[in-house]
Amino acid sequence: MNPPALRALLADSLVLWGVTGRSDITDQGVRITANDLVLHVVPASPDESPIRWWLIREDRRRPAASMLGLLRSLRYALNATSAEPARAWVSAAP
């Protein structure tokens, strides 16, 4: 995923979560500045597989094996989770 595409998805995610902030492309990935925090989203190198992404906050690094996991971690780090626990209900077919 190229940096502009990653930045665009993360910027849209902030809007979706109602977070006011900014996202910038850096040498390593994308920097998120929001809620008085600075977070870095960095693609993992191929030899770190199955890790695909790192979410870095100060000196802490949190791995994510997919975009799904990365978004979840980022939202949690930004304290932008909804009041109700997020879960997908799968119902009987229509």
Partner 1 sequence: MGFGSAVIPVSVITGFLGSGKTTLLRSVLRDAAYAGSAVIVNEWGDIGLDHELLETSEENLLGLANGCLCCTTRGDLARTLIDLAARRRSGAVSYHRVLIETSGLADPAPILHTLLVDPAIAEGHRVEALVTVVDALLGAETIERHPEAAQQALLADRLLLSKTDLVPDTGALEARLRALNPGAPIMRAVQGAIAPDMLFNAATKPESLQAWLDAVAEPRARHSAGVETISILREAPLPGVVLPLFLEALAEHAGDKLLRMKGIIHVAEAPEKPAVLHGVRHVLHPIEWLEDWPSEDRRSRLVLIGQGIPQWWPARLLEALEEEARG
Nearest CB to partner 1, comparing residues 60 and 82:
82
Query: Which residues lie below 8 Å from residue 73, measured CB to CB, with a gap of 6+?
Result: 55, 62, 64
Residues in contact with partner 1 by the rule CB under 8 A? 1, 5-6, 8-9, 12-13, 15-17, 52, 66-68, 71-72, 75, 82, 86-94
Query: Quick one: 7 or 31, whose CB is closer to partner 1?
Result: 7
Cα three-residue angle 56-62-73, rounded to 5 degrees: 95
Rank residues 18 and 59 by Cβ distance to partner 1 and give the closer one.
Answer: 18
Which amino acid does the sequence have at 67? Answer: M
